[in-house]
């Protein structure tokens, strides 16, 4: 089996300036645990619900 067979072909993406609260809402609404972060259609990072939880817990 290859990654192509199991990958999400049209993932929900976020921008770097999206508020953390909105990313939490998106994850909850869509059952998504990670988001590609795009800026001008270029991948600039990946954010996970675990990353977000860690920041919120330490705030």
For every residue of 25-40, DSSP letters joined together read HHHHHHT-SEEEEEET
Q: Look up the pTM and report it.
A: 0.84
Q: Enter the CATH code of domain 3-57.
A: 3.10.580.10
Sign of CA dihedral 26, 28, 32, 36: positive
Inform me whether the pLDDT recorded for 54 exceeds 90: no
Domain boundaries, the chain: 3-57
Residue with tokens 């508020």: 19
- Give the contacts of 24 (CB within 8 A, at least 6 positions apart): 49, 52, 56
pLDDT in tens, 9-24: 999 999 999 999 999 9
């Amino acid at each position: 089996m290859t990654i192509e067979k199991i990958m999400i072909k049209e993932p929900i993406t976020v921008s770097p300036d999206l508020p953390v609260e909105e990313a939490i809402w998106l994850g909850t609404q869509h059952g998504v645990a990670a988001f590609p972060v795009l800026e001008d259609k270029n991948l600039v990072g990946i954010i996970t619900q675990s990353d977000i939880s860690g920041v919120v817990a330490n705030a």
